[in-house]
Amino acid sequence: MALLSKDQITTADDRKWEDVPVPEWGGTVRLLGMSGTERNAYQSSLVVLGPNGSVQKMNMADQLAKLVAKCLVGEDFERLFTDKEVRALGAKNGAVLERLGTICQRLSGLRKEDVEAAAGKSEPTPSDASTTD
């Protein structure tokens, strides 16, 4: 199998999405799995660092709304809620946010089983050639 080029990697359409009925809101929403950058920003937003750079505490305020806001997109796949609009989304039904958040976690590879599965698949393949001495 040939190795992928940089162009092939950057142009690959690899983000999963799903349309989800939300009867409480009177329709259907589209959830798009987060990019690596979005996922890192989301995870960073949940941590409060102390003066020495170590984790001081977890910031769980509106964590479900933050997650859903990063994944909730329109038909054009553009986000519907910015990071500054998370509070408005957080005011919605918690059960709905939990349901959507679970789907966002799956689409973005945030569930524990997704992380464990990815770790098992990412082991290097044996090779006779080495890039280090």
Q: What is the pLDDT of residue 56?
A: 75
Nearest to 32 by CA among 112, 89, 104: 104
Q: What is the pLDDT of residues 12-59, one digit of tens each?
A: 999 999 999 999 999 999 999 999 999 998 888 888 777 887 777 777
Q: What is the pLDDT of residue 51?
A: 82
Q: What is the pLDDT of residue 119?
A: 57
pTM: 0.77
Q: What is the pLDDT of residues 65-110, one digit of tens each?
A: 999 999 999 999 999 999 999 999 999 999 999 999 999 999 999 9
- How is the chain split into domains, by residue range? 16-116
* C-alpha distance from residue 3 to each of 6, 7, 34, 99, 129 (Å): 10, 12, 25, 39, 15
The CATH architecture to which 16-116 belongs is 2-Layer Sandwich (3.30)
Q: What is the pLDDT of residues 121-131, one digit of tens each?
A: 544 555 555 45
